[in-house]
Amino acid sequence: MHHLQLDRRSFQIPGQLPTGFGAVTFGRLLQLGLLESGAGRHGITGYRLTEDGWRCMYGKTLAEMSGTGPYHPLRVWSWPPANR
């Protein structure tokens, strides 16, 4: 998911991501609400992190992190978060 945070506004197509990301991975992350899909480059379906995806990785949403930082990914990931 680290590669999906490089450009926060655009949808990254599978060709822009490292190997290991496939239909099953995208499907599961979409079901969990950690990714959203939309039109990427050349009209290919792309993906980007949702606010919950940011919260899962960093403990805060992108809006909560703006203007401060740096933030580093959490070491233990679990979803849904237990302390919501």
CA distances from 2 to 12, 31, 47, 75, 83 (A): 12, 18, 12, 13, 23
pLDDT at site 6:
57
Count structural domains, the chain. 1
Q: What is the pLDDT of residues 32-78, one digit of tens each?
A: 999 999 998 888 898 988 988 888 887 888 787 776 666 666 666 56
pLDDT at site 55:
85
pLDDT at site 30:
93
83 lies in a domain? no
Between CA 59 and CA 40 the distance in angstroms is: 27
44 lies in a domain? yes
15 lies in a domain? yes
79 lies in a domain? no
Range of the domain at 33: 2-65
Q: What is the pLDDT of residues 8-32, one digit of tens each?
A: 778 888 887 777 778 888 899 999 9
